[in-house]
Amino acid sequence: MSPLPQLRIGHLQIGSPFVQAALSGYSDWPMRLIARRHGASYTLCEVLLDQFLVTFKDRARNKHFLYLTDEERPVAGQLMGAEPEQFAQGAARLAAAGFDVIDINFGCPVKKVLGRCRGGFHLSQPSVALEIVRRTRESVPANIPVTIKMRRGLDDTQESRDNFFTIMEGAWQMGIDAITVHGRTVKQRYVGPSRWEFLTEVKKQYPTRTIIGSGDLFTAEDCLNMIRTTSVDGVTIARGCIGNPWIFSQCRALAAGQPLPPPPSLYEQRDVLREHFLLAQELYGAERCGPQMRKFGIKFAASHPQHLLVRESFARIKDLSEWDGVLQKWYAEDLPGCYPDPAVHRSTTECA
Residues identified as active-site:
108
Q: Are 201 and 192 in contact (CB under 8 A)?
A: no
Instruction: Give the whole-angstrom CA distance, residue 156 versus residue 352.
Output: 20
Helical H segments across the chain, by residue range:
29-37, 50-54, 84-97, 111-115, 126-139, 158-173, 196-205, 220-230, 246-255, 266-284, 286-300, 307-314, 320-330, 342-346
Instruction: Give the whole-angstrom CA distance, residue 121 versus residue 83.
Output: 12
Distances (CA, A) of 296 to 92, 193, 270, 300, 323: 31, 25, 13, 6, 11
| DSSP state letter for 61 | T
- Residues contacting residue 29 through CB under 8 Å, at least 6 positions apart: 64, 67, 68, 69, 72, 279, 283
Residue 321's Cβ-count burial label (10 Å; 0-12, 13-18, 19+) is exposed
Task: For 320, list phi and psi in degrees, rounded to 5.
Answer: -60, -40
Instruction: Give the whole-angstrom CA distance, residue 200 versus residue 338.
Output: 32
What is the amino acid identity at position 114? L
Q: Are 227 and 196 in contact (CB under 8 A)?
A: no
Q: Is 63 left (phi over 0), alpha (psi -120 to 50) or beta?
A: alpha
